[in-house]
Amino acid sequence: MSGPETPLPRHDFYQNEEYVIVAVYIKGLNVEGVKEKVDISFEDKQATIVRPNPEAEGEKLTVKLGPLYAGIKADESTSRILSSKIELKLRKAEHIAWTTLLSTPESAPPRVLSQAPPANATASSSTAPPPTETEDKRSDAFADIGMASSSVPHAGGPAKINNKRKNWDRVVEEELKVKKEDRTAADPNSGGDNALQKMFADIYKDADPDTKRAMIKSFTESGGTTLSTDWNSIGKEKTPIRPPDGMEARKY
Using one digit for the tens of pLDDT, what is the confidence trace for 119-162?
A: 444 444 444 455 555 555 454 544 544 444 434 444 444 444 44
Among residues 75, 52, 51, 64, which one has the least CA distance to residue 22? Answer: 64
pLDDT of residue 121: 45
pLDDT tens sequence across 44-102: 999 999 999 888 888 999 999 999 999 999 999 999 999 999 999 999 999 999 999 99
Residue with more model confidence, 165 or 224:
224
Residue 24 near residue 88, CB atoms below 8 Å: yes
The SS3 assignment for 200 reads helix
Residue with more model confidence, 107 or 176:
107
Residue 136 near residue 159, CB atoms below 8 Å: no
Among residues 116, 141, 103, which one has the least CA distance to residue 205? Answer: 116
Helix axes 192-206, 168-177, angle to 10 degrees: 130
All CATH 2.60.40.790 domain ranges in the chain, comma separated: 11-110
Q: Which residues of 54-87 are buried (b: 16+ CB within 10 A; e: fewer)?
A: eeeeeebbebbbbebbbbbebeebebebeeebbe
pLDDT of residue 1: 59
d(CA 219, CA 196): 14
- Within 10 Å of residue 100's Cβ, how many Cβ atoms? 20
pLDDT of residue 220: 85
Domain 11-110 grouped into CATH 2.60.40.790: yes
Cβ-in-10-Å burial (0-12, 13-18, 19+) of 217 comes to buried
- Read off the pLDDT of each residue in 201-219 and give the average, rounded to a whole number: 83
CA angle 167, 172, 174 (to 5 degrees): 95
Mean pLDDT check: name the lowest of 40-44, 183-187, 212-216: 183-187
Amino acid at 30: N
The SS3 assignment for 50 reads strand
Give the rounded percent of residues in the chain with a pLDDT score beyond 70: 62
pLDDT tens sequence across 113-129: 654 444 444 444 444 45
The SS3 assignment for 244 reads coil
d(CA 180, CA 182): 5
